Amino acid sequence: MTTQRARLESATRGLQPPFAVVDLAAFRANAAALTRRAHGRPVRVVSKSLRSRALLRTALDLPGYAGIMAFTLPEALWLATDGEPLSDDILVAYPTADTDALARLARAPAAARSITLMVDSPAHLDMIAAAADDAPGAPPIRVCLDIDTSWQPLGPGLRMGTRRSPVRTPAQAAALARATVDRPGLELDGIMAYEGQIAGVGDAPPGRPLYGRLLRTIQRASALELAQRRAAVVHAVREVADIRFVNGGGTGSLHTTGRERAVTELAAGSGLYHPHLFDHFRAFDGRPAALFALPVVRRPAPGTATVLGGGYPASGPVDRYRPPVPYLPENLSYSAAEGAGEVQTPLTGKAARDLSVGDRVWMRHAKAGELCERFAVLHLIDSDTGTYVEAVPTYRGEGRTFL
């Protein structure tokens, strides 16, 4: 048994699988590696990548981390008002159309001073302004402009990047900034420009060296174009209002975005757990921190070991990278006919011959926080010492699902 597997087994000896763990030794090592790549910029913790208040608090207590990037307004309200607030600086990364949540925000002065909403159109401003109008005397609701970062070398017909905001040019950003400051009850707080085509796409895809070379060329060109345009957007918006922050970057692009003078803070979350989609970046290496263990429940053939459950695919395009991957023991693979199943998953390969009913197989999810939608508890361990630390709830374990 490998040393790492032995330590995982030792730390979790009393647990019955399936269960999920977060290795705090790996988590802290990954956190330190992220801040080293951030060029001194503070890193805002992306909550959707962790989905546990205890782990959010752990990250925020580490040097170099400040503020939360939430994914929905109801989540941000919960983090800001339920019990001891985790942060007084919560940026909601995506626009909201939840009028009930907007009304709650407008009527909660402490939350309004802690939460910043994302906007990319006058329609968003109108909804927020309507909520503010219904709460006279309340503090202004803060908003952030979401800027499109896609690379379009030949115009909109050739687009590389996520389809997010329609706001792309300095003139468009300035126009939306003016529309914001013209509405009573709203305050322009910042700019976000997340370069998903760089931060979230591994530049060293396994077995595809030519594609990887092309991808790196595209990412370099995109980063150069975006740095120039982002600076121009920031300048144009600052001509309209004095904004507090400019947010950019992600786990895969901290080392490049952190060099831009126009950017005042970065965002990251996936790199703390280091799911398997982040194995394929050349600029950094992380330690798998979030794992889940499945029990072997069948031996249908000498070369096959079947585990319970395991069909936890990640969001995104349907491809071979979306399922979890068998991690330990090494040399396990899915059956081509069945893949990762809802209630059982046959595994083949050299290691399958040595597994017995009752043994554990350790798995890694493709993405970070999505694993927490499958488990109510995260068992915190320290794999460096092979010790168990404590159990903490996920969002789901606290009865919260925000999407």
Bridge-based pairing of strands 360-364 and 290-301 is antiparallel
pTM of the model: 0.93
**What are 74-91's pLDDT values in tens digits?**
999 999 998 888 999 999
Query: Which tens digit of pLDDT belongs to each residue from 202-225?
Result: 777 787 888 778 878 888 888 888
Say which DSSP state 340 is in: S
- 190 contact partners, CB below 8 Å, separation of at least 6: 91, 116, 144, 145, 243, 244, 245, 246, 247
Q: What pLDDT, in 10s, does the model give residues 309-364?
A: 999 988 888 778 889 999 999 999 999 889 999 999 999 999 999 999 999 999 99
User: Cβ(374)–Cβ(52) under 8 Å?
Assistant: no
From the centroid of its chain, how far is CA 182? Answer: 33
Rounded to an integer, the average pLDDT of 227-247 is 96
DSSP string covering 124-173: HHHHHHHHHHTSTTSPPEEEEEE----B-BTBTTS-BS----S--SHHHH
With residues binned 3-state (H G I as helix, E B as strand, rest as coil), the percentages for the chain, rounded to 5, are 35, 25, 40
Asked if residues 381 and 22 have their Cβ atoms less than 8 Å apart, the reply is yes
Give the 3-state DSSP-derived string for 288-337, with helices as H, strands as E and coil as C.
Answer: CCEEEEEEEEEEEECCEEEEECCCCCCCCCCCCCCCCEEEECCCCEECCC
Q: How many percent of the chain have pLDDT more than 70?
A: 100
Rounded Cα–Cα distance for residues 179 and 314 (Å): 38
CB 314 within 8 A of CB 365: yes
pLDDT surpasses 70 at 273:
yes
Task: Kindly report, residue by residue over 103-160, the tens digit of the pLDDT.
Answer: 999 999 999 999 999 999 999 999 999 999 999 888 999 999 999 988 888 888 778 7
Higher pLDDT: 278 or 68? It is: 68
Three-class secondary structure of residue 390 per DSSP? strand
Q: 200 by DSSP, 3-state: which? A: coil
Whether omega for the bond prior to residue 184 falls within 30 degrees of 0, making it cis, is no
pLDDT at 398: 97
Cα 354 from chain centre: 36
End-to-end Cα spacing for the chain: 40
Give the tokens for residue 129: 């302004």
Using a 10 angstrom Cβ sphere, with 0-12 exposed, 13-18 middle and 19 or more buried, the burial of residue 54 is middle
**Residue 161: left (phi > 0), alpha (psi -120 to 50), or beta?**
left
User: What 3-state class would DSSP assign to 90?
Assistant: strand
Looking at residue 185, what is its pLDDT?
A: 95
